[in-house]
């Protein structure tokens, strides 16, 4: 009977261990990320893109073409994190489950500051990927692009900033996927003129079937997310955008204070979670962080107001 019981435990535990063992074990997590970085083992020089690469005794890579020595993750988002790769995998696992950093502190061996840095990096990868996907989606929707261009900034270079009362952004659905994007300053003034002050409510305005505008009040340096208060203008409301709005409000509330300076990262993260809410998030984000990171990210450009 005891043998039987032990066998039962073995069978229940084994599949779980098999799936998640790479998260905390160093060689497995390193192999996992390297396989994502170099699909099929095909390595390329990060400078000249030559595929004649050899591995040095130290484990670093050298390009026969241009002589550059580089690491597996040089130039990627992951390469910007100076923590053991198994810790990164563990943090990414906690992030993909939606656990805020302040709740991770019991489960990690690195400092909260470093964990924050890693979380910000995951969000930057999601942000850059979303902007790219949005621009690609608009390429095949010229009418929509024109309609949005007449009202909004579509180059993502500025205008995610907030004023002292609210933050604003656009929301649109293209082929079943929700995208958020910054709106133009003069559009903000029009909203102020035509709408009552938000008075600690979040507001979703859908003046057109094509897109909506989300407004979130600000308190000091942080977004103010009133619990369970969720006001909408039901004029021609798009149901998918309405679902996203509810989802966004709930998630922002759970983050316990989102800073204005980083709010676009959080909005984009929640957009990604919403679009993939029935899927595993660990693997898609792992794929994103082994991609080449732009030298100046779209977000940095935005913050620098270039």
The yes or no reply on residue 257 touching Zn ion (CB under 5 A) is: no
CB of 44 to Zn ion, least distance (A): 8
CB of 296 to Zn ion, least distance (A): 22
Number of residues that bind Zn ion (CB under 5 A): 8
Binding residue (CB under 5 A) for Zn ion from 62, 65, 187, 294: 65
Cβ nearer to Zn ion, comparing 36 with 68: 68
Binding residue (CB under 5 A) for Zn ion from 50, 120, 275, 276: 50
Site track for Zn ion across 9-48, x = CB under 5 A = ------------------------------------x-xx
The yes or no reply on residue 62 touching Zn ion (CB under 5 A) is: no
CB of 74 to Zn ion, least distance (A): 12
The yes or no reply on residue 66 touching Zn ion (CB under 5 A) is: yes
d(CA 265, CA 278): 21
Cβ nearer to Zn ion, comparing 51 with 136: 51
Cβ nearer to Zn ion, comparing 14 with 48: 48
CB of 125 to Zn ion, least distance (A): 24
Cβ nearer to Zn ion, comparing 46 with 267: 46
CB of 38 to Zn ion, least distance (A): 15
Phi, psi for residue 47 in degrees, rounded to 5: -105, -55
Q: What is the 3-state secondary structure (H, E, C) of the chain?
A: CHHHHHHHHHHHHHHHHHHHHHHCCHHHHHHHHHHHHCHHHCCCCCCCCCCCEEECCCCCEEECCCCCEECCCCCECHHHCCCCHHHHHHHHHHHHCCCCHHHHCCCCCCCHHHHHHHHHHHHHHHHHHHHHHHHHHHHCCHHHHHHHHCCECCCCCCCCCCCCCEEEEEEEEECCEEEEECECHHHHHHHHHHCCCCCCCCEEECCCCCEEEEEEEEECCEECCCCCCCEECCCCCCHHHHHHHHHHHHHHHHCCCCEHHHHHHHHHHHHHHHHCCCCCCHHHHHHHHCCECCCCCHHHHHHHCC
CB of 111 to Zn ion, least distance (A): 36
d(CA 87, CA 109): 8
CB of 76 to Zn ion, least distance (A): 16
Cβ nearer to Zn ion, comparing 51 with 146: 51
Cβ nearer to Zn ion, comparing 50 with 232: 50
Cβ nearer to Zn ion, comparing 5 with 54: 54
The yes or no reply on residue 63 touching Zn ion (CB under 5 A) is: yes
Scanning 64-72, 207-215, 276-284, 293-301 for contacts with Zn ion by CB under 5 A, the matching segment is: 64-72
Decide if 288 contacts 95 (C-beta within 8 A).
Answer: no
Binding site for Zn ion (CB under 5 A): 45, 47-48, 50, 63, 65-66, 68
């Amino acid at each position: 009977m005891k043998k039987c019981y032990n066998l039962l435990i073995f069978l229940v535990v084994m599949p779980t261990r098999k799936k998640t063992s790479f998260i905390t074990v160093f060689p497995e997590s390193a192999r996992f990320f390297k396989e994502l970085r170099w699909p099929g083992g095909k390595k390329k020089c990060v400078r000249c893109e030559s595929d004649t690469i050899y591995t040095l005794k130290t484990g670093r890579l050298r390009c026969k073409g241009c002589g550059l020595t580089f690491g597996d993750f040089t130039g990627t988002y992951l390469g910007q994190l100076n923590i053991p790769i198994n810790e990164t995998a563990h943090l990414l696992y906690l992030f993909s489950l939606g656990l805020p950093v302040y709740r991770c502190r019991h489960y990690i061996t690195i400092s909260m500051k470093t964990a924050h840095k890693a979380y910000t990096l995951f969000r930057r990868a999601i942000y850059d990927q979303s902007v790219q996907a949005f621009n690609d989606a608009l390429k095949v929707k010229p009418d929509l692009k024109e309609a949005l261009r007449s009202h909004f900034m579509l180059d993502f270079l500025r205008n995610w900033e907030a004023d002292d009362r609210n933050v604003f952004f656009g929301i649109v659905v293209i082929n079943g996927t929700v995208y958020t994007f910054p709106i133009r300053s003069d559009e903000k003034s029009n909203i102020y003129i035509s709408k009552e002050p938000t008075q600690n409510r979040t507001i979703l305005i859908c003046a057109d079937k094509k897109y909506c505008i989300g407004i979130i009040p600000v308190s000091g340096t942080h977004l103010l997310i009133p619990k369970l208060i969720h006001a909408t203008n039901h004029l021609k409301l798009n149901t998918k955008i309405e679902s996203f709005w509810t989802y966004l409000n709930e998630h922002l509330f759970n983050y316990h204070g989102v800073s204005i300076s980083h709010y676009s990262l959080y909005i984009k993260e929640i957009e990604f979670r919403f679009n993939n809410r029935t899927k595993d998030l660990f693997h898609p984000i792992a794929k994103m962080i082994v991609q080449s990171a732009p030298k100046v990210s779209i977000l940095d450009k935005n913050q620098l107001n270039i």
